[in-house]
Each structure stands twice: as structure tokens, then as C-alpha cells.
Amino acid sequence: ILQLLLNQNATVDASDRNQLTPLHRAADSGTVAAQLLLQFGAFVDSRDLLQMTPLHHATFQGHVTVAGALIEHGADVHARNWMDKTPLHLAAEKGHCHIVRLLISNGADMLAKTKWNETTVNLAMERNHQKVVNVLRQQSIKQ
């Protein structure tokens, strides 16, 4: 259905009352629709009411394939939401090791601080995500 709508020139960046676009929704659910929306020119760094980009949504939910596609299409790995959290902060606090690695390999700042001066390591430690803490420590040694 999405392909048909897009072929009929549906507005790819339409948003709802929360400023969520179809790409935000696809990134949140991890569907292949995200790839299709990107192919049809969806704005990769659109912001919702909480200043979250589709990459924030994909990383929060642990959708590594969608996160990778967003990055390939130029998503800003340094984008900050209303709490000054980057996608890396969200991946670290949720314990998504594969996404943490993906973001770091694409230049995400491991030392970025949130509105409350929390770093990615702080967030991972607070939630007992030891694997993420280990990844972050290993990466900081490499840098």
C-alpha cells in the first residue's frame, strides 16, 4: 500500500499533531517501510515535538538495520532531542550494543552530555548495561 501511495505522489513528509512523520513511525517500528520512504526522499532529520529524529526513534527501539539505513542517507548522529540526548545516549541507556557500535563507527560523540550532564557511560552504568559500558570503554581507548 505504501508503495502505491508513494507512486501516486503521496506527501512523504506529512506529519501528525505530534509532528511525527511516516519515517518517524517506520523507524520506531523497525519496518522496511523506512527504506522505501528514504528512497522516495523522506527528510531524514525531521523533528517531532520532542525534537527526536527518526534516528533517535530507531536507536531507542534497537532497530539496527533501520538505524544503518538512516545513517547511510545522511542522518545526523549528533542530533539532540529536548533533553540534549543524542541517538548514542538512547542506545546506551537501552543497552543496544550493536547500535552503540554503529553510531560510534559513524562518528557519534561518546563524551556528549545531556541536559543533566549525563554521558553515555553514565546512562549505561545507571541501567546496568555492562556490555555497553565495556564497548564504550574499549572505544574510548581506541580513540
pLDDT in tens, 78-89: 999 999 999 999
- Give buried/exposed letters for 40-71 (b at 16+ CB in 10 A, else e): bebebebbbeeebbbbbbbbbbbbbebbbbbb
* pTM recorded for the entire structure: 0.90
**Cα–Cα distance between 6 and 94 in angstroms, integer?**
33
* Residue 16 confidence class, pLDDT cut points 50, 70, 90: confident
How do residues 87-140 score in pLDDT, each as one tens digit? 999 999 999 999 999 999 999 999 999 999 999 999 999 999 999 999 999 987
The answer to which of 10-24, 43-57, 82-96, 128-142 has the lowest mean pLDDT is 10-24
Give the chain's domain count.
1
Q: What does the alpha-carbon distance between residue 130 and residue 100 come to, in Å, rounded to a whole number? A: 13
Full residue range of the structural domain in which residue 104 is found: 2-142
- pLDDT, residue 33, reads 86
CA-nearest of 82, 19, 33, 91 to 57 is 91
- The CA–CA distances, whole Å, from 93 to 23, 38, 88, 121, 132 equal 23, 27, 9, 9, 9
Percentage, residues of the chain above pLDDT 70: 90
| For residue 45, pLDDT beyond 90 | yes
pLDDT of amino acid 40: 82
Residue 122: which H helix or E strand, with range?
Answer: helix 120-126
List all residues 6 or more positions away from 76 whose beta carbon is below 8 Å from its beta carbon.
Answer: 45, 53, 55
Is pLDDT of 2 > 60? no
Residue 7: pLDDT over 70? no
User: CATH number of the domain that 40 lies in?
Assistant: 1.25.40.20
Mean residue pLDDT across the chain: 91
Grid cell listed for 62: 534497537
Which of 117, 116, 73, 109 is closest to 91 using CA atoms? 109
